Amino acid sequence: MLSVSQALEERKESPALVVVTTAFQLALVVLVWLLALVPAAVAALTMLAIRTLRRAFDRTPPPGGPPAY
């Protein structure tokens, strides 16, 4: 019967398979982060644009009246 350390030593993994698996895992992590961050960023930019447009088209004068020159 083989011990755990002997079983791991006898198990040979292909270096190419390790590289492909690692690249796939990294791509999956990046994809999940993008799926989480992109909607939040779009929502924040939308709110910023709405607030900016409201201020640009607001017809009420700023508080304190016109500046004195």
Q: What is the pTM of this model?
A: 0.50
Q: What is the pLDDT of residue 2?
A: 57
10: Cβ–Cβ under 8 A, 6 or more apart, which residues?
A: 2
CA distance 38 to 31: 10
Enter the tokens of residue 39: 């909607």
Enter the tokens of residue 46: 């939308």
Q: What is the pLDDT of residue 56?
A: 87
- For residue 3, give the 3-state DSSP assignment: coil
The pLDDT tens digits along the chain (69 residues) read: 557 676 666 778 888 999 999 999 999 999 999 999 999 999 999 999 999 999 888 877 667 766 666
Please say whether the beta carbons of 10 and 2 come within 8 A: yes
Give the residue extent of every domain in the chain.
17-57
CA distance 28 to 30: 5
